[in-house]
Structure 1
Amino acid sequence: MCFSVRTDIGKKRTFNEDQAAVFVLDNGYILAVIADGMGGHKSGDVASSMAVRLMGEYFTGLKTEIPDSREQWNEWLSENVRNVNHLIYEKAQSSAEHEGMGTTLEAAVIAKGQCYIAHVGDSRVYLIDAENATQVTKDHSYVNALLASGEITEEEAEVHPQRNWIMRAVGSEKSIDPDFYHVPFKEDGNYLLLCTDGLSNKVDAETLHQMVNTDATLEEKVIQMIDLANDRGGEDNITAVLLSASKLGADVL
């Protein structure tokens, strides 16, 4: 397994509220986490930092009774996303400075050729192979709710003035219900991309597919994605984690 992690402030923001990291156990199991914070001045950074750090601590603390099935990993993800939600919510309630803060969260565990995902918000996970870039997660956004109900078209969704409104975030409410997804992730040539909306709002799935399926290194591919998002406006922070199922040519392991 190889991976690359990169975040960029973008062209318009004065600080970066995105966070991302990859954590690796001794047995080779991997947790990739990405979070896009929101709230008052710099509170979004607090929320996203807490989410990534805490999920990493829970994962690297797995020493015994490591989950070994889809049901067990979903249970582990559910318990710990809810723990993170509770701690961020409590911090937000304890200080006027942090009131109302929250964060999106994508947490993807890769174990024995399988990927188990917990999803909250409008950051995304894509599965990319030689043929397609498939969006695995469904945005918890106002626009996506309108789209699902048939009130707007996909073309209208792309330019809707409220397309950045999210309807679910970690830490913004006392309790949270993540969505869970599962995809196989063991074929050479398969990639997993986690990204914030600073990337997905600027670079469509087909372009992501084309950029990933080149001879560039993983790091070069991620840099190219972020550069393109900046070239197209860069109004938001831009963060991506790209993982390859290949065991060869690792950028970081």
Structure 2
Amino acid sequence: MLRFEVVTDIGKKRTVNEDSAAVFSIQDGPTLAVVADGMGGHRGGDYASSTAVKILGEEFLKVEDSASMDEEDWKDWLLETILHVNRTLYEIAENDTEYKGMGTTLDAVLIYGNNGLVTHVGDSRVYMIKRNEIIQITKDHSFVNILLDSGEITEEEAATHPQRNWIMRAIGSEKSIMPDFYQIQMDAQSYLLICTDGLSNKVDNERIRDIVTSDGNLHDKAVKLVELANELGGEDNISVILASLPSAEVADNDW
């Protein structure tokens, strides 16, 4: 059984928390962990992220006969549901000036036994963390990442680039969207971290790894990550889902 902690915090400078984070579980079936970071003004950003998480959770809990679904079935389901979320938000933004320009990042991780399926849009992140390493699974859909890929700037320049918050892909901001998909495998020595950029922009990878792999329970580690981001400035909302498996035994119903 997957253990998880969800912590979301407004940060030190914002007046509204535009992040949303939640975990949904089907009895004797998979778990879905979702993090979203909204944009488009106080009301729009909050609405976009919370609606994306809400719809994904509701649709997930409606899935019947989940035990018979394999990885491809779940990938199809995730894609279809994310396209539905995108259409819903896009149409609201088109028809209501109060929500014009809203959108949200979205990272959803479906975990079944020791296996995981990651879907990703935007610049929130998914990490796999072990005692001696931290691996960023997702690739930011950001302007700075395009410059990095082309070799125009360095990692150090990216960290302080004035356009580092420009997102090139978001749920609800365009009529159609294509999320990225990744596969992961977990064991008893690994942790899964899903977070918004309120954490990843403030706390470097090594400090994240040190906190997550330190002694202590999952809740304290998740809280410590958020507290450190606040100590380092807390300019943005901060959301964290931290998950681990209690046992290295491979479940019978793995993909």
- Which category of TM-score, normalised to the shorter sequence, fits these structures? over 0.9
Please report how far the alpha carbon of residue 77 of structure 1 lies from its aligned counterpart in structure 2 after TM superposition.
1.0
Match of 2:5, SS? Answer: strand
Size of the aligned set, in residue pairs, is 247
Unaligned runs of 5+ in 1: 249-253
Residue of structure 2 equivalent to 1:86: 87
1:14-58, Cα deviation, whole Å (9 max, x unpaired): 110000000010114100000000002321000000000000011
Report how far residue 70 of structure 1 moved. Answer: 2.8
Which deviates more, 81-90 or 65-74? 65-74
TM-score calculated relative to the size of structure 1: 0.95
Q: Give unmatched runs, 5+ long, in structure 2.
A: 249-255
| 1:162 is the counterpart of 2:157 | no
* 1:170-213 deviation digits (Å, cap 9, x = unpaired): 0000100000000112x112110000000000111111111011
| Deviation for aligned residue 1:214 | 1.4
CA contact (8 A) 2:12 2:234 kept: yes
> Which residue number corresponds to residue 30 of structure 2?
29
> % of aligned pairs identical?
54
Q: What is the identity, as a one-letter code, of the residue corresponding to 1:207? A: R
What does 1:147-186 align with in structure 2 at a 5 Å threshold?
Answer: 147-185=148-186
Q: Which residue of 2 aligns with 1:195?
A: 195
Determine if contact 2:29/2:67 at 8 Å carries over to the other structure: no
- The two structures have a TM-score, normalised by structure 2, of 0.94
Q: Show CA shifts across 1:143-181 (max 9, x none).
A: 001000111111110110100110000000010000000
8 A contact 2:36–2:53 mirrored in 1: yes
Map 1:81-230 → 2, pairs under 5 A: 81-185=82-186, 187-230=187-230
Paired position in structure 1 for 2:237: 237
Task: Decide whether aligned partners of structure 1 residues 72 and 238 sit closer, same or farther in structure 2, where only a CA change above 3 A counts.
Answer: same
Q: What does residue 251 of structure 1 align with?
A: none
Instruction: Check conservation: 1:17, 1:38, Cα contact below 8 A.
Output: yes
Separation (CA, whole Å) in 1 of partners of 2:215 and 2:189: 11
CA distance in structure 1 between the partners assigned to 2:46 and 2:148 by the alignment = 30
Closer/same/farther in 2, CA of residues 68 and 189 from structure 1, 3 Å limit: same
Q: CA RMSD in A?
A: 1.3
Q: Distance in 2 between matches of 1:221 and 1:58?
A: 30
| Contact 2:7 2:241 (C-alpha < 8 Å) held by counterparts | yes
After TM superposition, list the pairs within 5 Å mapping 1:34-53 onto structure 2. Answer: 34-53=35-54
Asked whether the 8 Å contact 2:31–2:112 carries over to 1, the reply is yes
Q: Which amino acid aligns with 1:87?
A: T
Q: Residues 189 and 65 of structure 1: is their aligned pair in 2 closer, same or farther, counting only changes over 3 Å?
A: closer
CA shift, 1:65, in A, is 5.4
